[in-house]
Structure 1
């Protein structure tokens, strides 16, 4: 079958879908990934066909408006502020998604929640569409509030939060989508009935977020979609000598989060590590940290495969992206989450609930004293270490990609 995967976002929004694409290709399917142009070489180097979506989305994260939105709050309001900045790019995205699908003619479309054209394209092509997300929040449940709202639970309103978030993009961009449907898809401005995916895949471990009992059988929590192929990576000699010290260092990195004030944040991290009496490996490639503020107790890297790097660490301090959280948990490491925005506070709450790390604190409220105490707790509390080890063992035996493909077959969506 011809399977198109549409995704938009940072590397964390592309890498798991590439892992799924490779699994589908190995199973005999022809696969296309439509993603921001910056990821072309990343995808094509793995032997998967690629279609370009607007590159401006990633550039948006570096604009003063986006940085201000993320600096202004670690929760869902920052995401809504960024949606306003996204509007000019959105129309380009709709056309680019349609162009990719028109050329490829998929028989199945699997799409990230931010791929706002995919469900409408599936309607046009009369092919099934499957929503695939690295976080819950698009299937109503009474078990917890949507990860995109800043509450653990709103009791009887929990289901409403999921429904609201699932349909928020269409509500915000209804006019733009309607004009695009009419002029390019030659469909009615508004669908005759609400467009719903034929099935939904959630690419995280049920050991991390248990499956709610009120979800239908068209929804699967498959386990994480980890990308392999980095086994040949080895730390350079400097990093190797650093991690072979008396005690394993602490990883500190904030993924693709932009640098709101990288100098201040880096100084805070250096001070916290010193107060905790720990050494650190700081990943600076994303821009949130600076790599030119040298100190004897830290080693700076641009980046490294999490699957190989995290097992060498004692704990992981990060922003709480779904993929980074999953990689740290698979490595059996305590997590210290300092969320910037979006769903990241949700993963911080899950770490707290699971007892595999201290309670999270948003990056705008960080202090060296708090971070030092959190590092000391994560690395010095044997119960946290034991729980993290057990959770890592459970995640490592999962095969999320195989589970996802098997589920799609069981739903008669794959031959």
Structure 2
């Protein structure tokens, strides 16, 4: 839902905006003076000296309990996850432990039971840690390394919200003299060609893929009937990747030979193609793809369902939206999208129905937005300084809803199966608070200084191997070896 300048508006369509995704980060540093004042805590769990226990900030009982828990967690014998990799433990016992840790529900969701007091026991410099990794966050376009002109293919599977950011990246790469082919679903051919990029069709239908994720809370199918449909989708996608990297343009017949690959994770076989062609690959996504100290992986199933139902009753949802706008005295724009919203029994002078419109333009005309919570739509709303309410359906949408709420930019997300009149009314009232608008404006100003496209291009070019480095695939990872069992799995001869 997007809102007009004197009202609010509701949108459920896929993302159509290019922008950076919202995230929170925090850092704590202590000076040398602080080091002299604050007592140092022992990092060795088995040794606690009496003179290390003080009463300056925390009670002795709390401090002692914390150290006891840390000792217990650092003991591999007490860690079920580590026991799963212990070769001395019988398989039957491991299966019982696995059933206690993770349960696959009937709807395909994998529920993981993580102890509430669990702490990260992997530290910098340990065997399993990522030590001495330096990340340069500078996005200054002047320090983008020069690379001779290359032929680059961008492999993207997903909705328009997944495709659009890579259109911007491709155009920027063209500015630096590279030839760019964007390979994605046939639905987006006109969109890609209009942007001035070369296009190559990948298999798969984004609407079918999205409907599957909406219907199934996890990636696992909820019923046998789903398997055949998704097997065909995956087969079509995977077997179109290699031609996308080496076949001539299907329209102009101009030859193409890839020098480097950019892909998003749902493109599945991207790594195997890169190994077969012995070219470098860089994987990008529109959301964090690794866990951080701030939040887990956005698709992790830690006692929280990550997907909900298709708008099963769009007529009822439309009525709720109209009533909420009327009760709060707001005007609204209903963006119909794939969900079938926007069927009114009678016209309302405070409601405008919209089929499709770029969010980065639309949201600038609004003072609040309510939407499904896709990465691109969330970014567009926050970049326009709009307080935001997210009604998540699946995937990373609950994650963005939680991040928006944590920053005070909107109310707690409303899962689609809990969507109701009072909740929407309360959400609109919350977004109309001056302090919420102030926070949205503050974040929008911070986002103005970010240049995600330049940062992505710079990261891609910086991490390309030098001419002296050779891209050699592991002996057992050839693309033909990968396709052979896959063909049998997908029902191919």
The normalised TM-score by structure 1 is 0.68
Shift of 1:70: 2.7
2:478 maps to none
1:277 maps to 329
- 2:238 maps to 1:87: no
Aligned equivalents of 2:237, 2:277: Cα separation in 1: 18
Report which structure shows greater RCO (CA 8 Å, sep ≥6): 2
* Secondary structure of the corresponding residue to residue 80 of structure 1: coil
- 2:259 maps to 1:119: no
- CA spacing shift, 1:46–1:324, aligned 2, 3 Å: same
- 2:390 maps to 1:303: no
* Secondary structure of the corresponding residue to residue 265 of structure 2: coil
1:135 maps to 287
- 2:299 maps to 1:148: yes
* Secondary structure of the corresponding residue to residue 81 of structure 1: coil
* Secondary structure of the corresponding residue to residue 412 of structure 2: coil
* Secondary structure of the corresponding residue to residue 405 of structure 1: helix
Given the alignment, which residue of 453, 456, 462 partners 1:404? 456
- 2:405 maps to 1:356: no
Given the alignment, which residue of 87, 93, 97 partners 2:241? 97
* Secondary structure of the corresponding residue to residue 339 of structure 2: coil
Cα pair 2:382 2:443 within 8 Å, conserved: yes
Cα pair 2:310 2:393 within 8 Å, conserved: no
Aligned equivalents of 2:443, 2:465: Cα separation in 1: 32
* Secondary structure of the corresponding residue to residue 182 of structure 2: strand
Aligned equivalents of 2:453, 2:466: Cα separation in 1: 14
Aligned equivalents of 1:32, 1:413: Cα separation in 2: 21
- 2:179 maps to 1:39: no
Mean Cα displacement is larger for which, 12-21 or 95-104?
Answer: 95-104
1:262 maps to 314
Given the alignment, which residue of 368, 376, 386 partners 1:323? 376
- CA spacing shift, 1:280–1:395, aligned 2, 3 Å: same
Shift of 1:300: 0.7
- 2:75 maps to 1:22: no
1:383-405 residue CA offsets vs partner (Å, 9 max, x unmatched): 11101001011112221111222
Larger Rg: 2
Mean Cα displacement is larger for which, 334-343 or 83-92?
Answer: 83-92
* Secondary structure of the corresponding residue to residue 95 of structure 1: helix
Report how many residues are paired. Answer: 301
1:236 maps to none
Shift of 1:142: 4.1
2:61 maps to none
The normalised TM-score by structure 2 is 0.58
- 2:439 maps to 1:287: no
Aligned equivalents of 2:303, 2:450: Cα separation in 1: 27
Shift of 1:306: 1.3
Shift of 1:42: 0.4
Shift of 1:102: 2.3
Shift of 1:96: 0.7
Aligned equivalents of 2:326, 2:466: Cα separation in 1: 53
- CA spacing shift, 1:397–1:377, aligned 2, 3 Å: same
Shift of 1:80: 3.3
1:6 maps to 155
- CA spacing shift, 1:389–1:414, aligned 2, 3 Å: farther
Aligned equivalents of 1:288, 1:319: Cα separation in 2: 14
1:358-389 residue CA offsets vs partner (Å, 9 max, x unmatched): 1111111101111011011101x111110100
Aligned equivalents of 2:264, 2:464: Cα separation in 1: 20
Cα pair 1:33 1:48 within 8 Å, conserved: yes
Cα pair 2:155 2:241 within 8 Å, conserved: yes
2:198 maps to 49
1:286-308 residue CA offsets vs partner (Å, 9 max, x unmatched): 33412444322211111211111
Aligned equivalents of 2:393, 2:466: Cα separation in 1: 38
Point out where structure 1 has 5 or more consecutive residues left out of the alignment.
Answer: 154-256
1:226-245 residue CA offsets vs partner (Å, 9 max, x unmatched): xxxxxxxxxxxxxxxxxxxx
Shift of 1:57: 3.7
Mean Cα displacement is larger for which, 280-289 or 90-99?
Answer: 280-289
Aligned equivalents of 1:412, 1:107: Cα separation in 2: 10
Aligned equivalents of 2:361, 2:317: Cα separation in 1: 26
Point out where structure 2 has 5 or more consecutive residues left out of the alignment.
Answer: 1-149, 248-255, 468-493
In angstroms, what is the RMSD of aligned CA positions?
2.3
Aligned equivalents of 2:287, 2:357: Cα separation in 1: 23
* Secondary structure of the corresponding residue to residue 355 of structure 1: coil
Q: Could you say which structure has the higher helix fraction?
A: 1
Aligned equivalents of 1:288, 1:92: Cα separation in 2: 28
Aligned equivalents of 2:209, 2:466: Cα separation in 1: 36
